[in-house]
Structure 1
Amino acid sequence: MNTKALYAACLFAALNICTLSARAESNVPAQTYTYGTHLDVQKVLSLSEDAEPICGVVNAHMTYLDSAGHKQALDYRKLSDNCNDGN
């Protein structure tokens, strides 16, 4: 086997290992927020909420990285983005 083929095989193997670990982390079970829950948020990856056309309290979801670089998920309740900032 020549060196180019060997390098290509090693690169292919490394990419497959990275893909498998990324898939394993994408299915992180979500923690439900309660008052007093310790949050270790280093970087927020995504925020989403239920699509409700009214102003009120809705379910929301945050995906983030903690200080160790592990992907985490959090479910919580919040005031809808459809509400005005004023009264």
Structure 2
Amino acid sequence: MKRLIALALVAFSTLAVADEVQVPQQQPAVEQYTYATDLDIANVISVTPIADVCEVVPAQMTYEDHQGQRHILEYRVMGNGCSNG
């Protein structure tokens, strides 16, 4: 009887550890934004910081669409290093 209880405890502890193991997600391909890009953004996960230069620089946004698929969108923005003085 003790062996049966010990075997059951080992089985349950193995299942508990298996639930904690996460399989790393494969990084999605970077998509280039154009004015014709049809965006389906349900949740923004992250946006890269904008460089402190006075020129157009690339930026990336990682987001999930309404079906839960993760996307990385690269677009161009004006840097934060320009002053109006």
Q: Settle same-fold status: TM greater than 0.5.
A: yes
CA apart distance, 1:50? 5.9
TM-score (structure 2 length as normaliser): 0.76
Which moved further from structure 2: 68-77 or 6-15? 6-15
Larger radius of gyration: 2
Alpha-carbon distance change, 4 to 82 in structure 1, aligned in 2, over 3 angstroms: farther
CA–CA distance in structure 2, aligned partners of residues 83 and 45 of structure 1: 27
Return the alpha-carbon distance in structure 2 between the equivalents of residues 6 and 73 of structure 1.
40
Deviation at residue 73 of structure 1 after TM alignment: 0.5
CA RMSD of aligned residues (A): 2.2
- AA aligned to 2:25 is A
State the distance in 2 between where 1:50 and 1:81 align: 6
* 1:36-78 deviation digits (Å, cap 9, x = unpaired): 1011111111111463x32221000111111111211101101
Higher share in helix:
1
Structure 2 unmatched runs, 5+: 1-5
Aligned residues: 80
Counterpart in the other structure of 2:41: 41
Q: Which secondary structure does the structure 2 equivalent of 1:39 belong to?
A: coil
Structure 1: distance between partners of 2:63 and 2:72: 6
Q: TM-score, normalised by structure 1?
A: 0.74
Q: Give the share of equivalent positions with the same residue, in percent.
A: 29
